[in-house]
Amino acid sequence: MKTSSVNPSSVISSTVTADGRGSSIPEGEYRELLARVTDWVQGPGEAWAEEIESSGSVSDDLWKELRREGFLSLAAPRSLGGAGLSFLQWMGLMEVFSRSHASVRMIVHVLNGTWRAMNPFADETQRQKFIIPAVAGESVVAFTLTEPANGSGVDITSSVRRDGDTYYLTGRKHLITFGVRCDYWLLFARLEGSTGRGGTVALLVDRNTPGTVVEDTSRTMGVHGTDHASLTFTDAPVPVANRLGAEGDGLAVALGGFLTPSRISVAMSCVGLAQRAQQLAVDYARQRTTFGKPLTSRQAIAFSLAENAADIAAARALTLTAASAWQDADPGAAALSSMAKLTAVDMLTRVTDKALQVHGGIGYWQTQPIERVYRDARAQRFEEGTNEIQKAVIARDLLGGDLG
């Protein structure tokens, strides 16, 4: 199946901002990189997928290979040690990475994104200590916002009390991707006794901080191999020097420069995974014969595949529109990112369901790649906010005010 790639030649500002907008690489260089990523995904990436599914874990060797290939440093500007891609160029690569195993996609998505949250609020010392090593793939920073008893916003209850140059952190976090193997948690809490956005802080918490209990909660329906953690903190000491921005900037760090592009990246991940499901369905339909005829001759099958193709193309177009809006600092980018994510995850559900149906009963067996794709697709409905959260974001943009 032919798949088109992002046109990287859109207009880019000559000024590179803290979130990377303004970076780009020449189109010829980009095309070579796109081809290299595609070759890796279709070759070594497939071998890694088999190993991950067999072992249930992602080995250190895979992390090292992704770092050696430069795949963990693609999205950041050159000033931070990255490849300097534009956001649209990066989305073209995410589309390809997402056709690989979901844990591969998760690694490159997260490690190419957390710097966006940190860099606009970091001082130069923090940039050298935390951000540049993370961009290089030398350290892993886990985004640590969600709590078991709350949502993922102003209602967070994990708290800190300050004593001189130290915060003492108490609270719980869960569903933290790479929370087990990370070097730092980029953690969001509030000043003890505060309410609202103004009391929130963003802290880089060392993985080995005393007063911390890490529970490995990695057994999931899909996305095998990616580790997840539940975290409990009891008067865990964190240097004030590890705070990004000022007191009160916590949610700005969490949501400002990170969430919008990350939602767009997840939407493009849905597009890439849907393309993978569609390719598997097309290949199987061409090979499978029933009652003397190939499945592709059956109108019901052909129409299902045609619907998939239209569904994927529509979601991809909306995702690129959102990506272009964010790249151009369009104020409507946040709502568009939610539209893209909402549309893409629903598309992925439909496409993977039809792709599995094309395979018939054999598609339910773990020997078939479509079985893994089907499982992995369900996780996208939660990543960076459920469909209901995306609808709330869109409705607020459309109608104004707060929803009850």
Could you tell me the two tokens for 109? 């998505």
What is d(CA 88, CA 384) in angstroms, rounded to the nearest whole number? 19
In total, the chain counts a number of residues equal to: 404
3-state class (DSSP) for residue 177: strand
Q: Reply yes or no on whether 384 is catalytic.
A: yes
Residue position matching structure tokens 């240097």: 239
Could you tell me the two tokens for 25? 């690489």
The phi and psi torsions of 332 (rounded to 5 degrees) equal -85, 5
The phi and psi torsions of 71 (rounded to 5 degrees) equal -75, -10
320 CB-near residues (< 8 Å, 6+ apart): 6, 88, 91
- Which 8-state DSSP code applies to residue 121? G
CB burial class (10 A; 0-12, 13-18, 19+) of residue 68? exposed
List C-alpha distances in Å: 256 to 118, 120, 251, 307.
10, 10, 7, 36
- Other Cβ atoms less than 10 A from the Cβ of 367: the count is 7
Which one is catalytic: 95, 247, 371, 384? 384
What is d(CA 260, CA 120) in angstroms, rounded to the nearest whole number? 15
DSSP letter for each residue of 321-377: HHHHHHHTT-TTHHHHHHHHHHHHHHHHHHHHHHHHHHHGGGGGSTTSHHHHHHHHH
**Which residues form the catalytic set?**
384
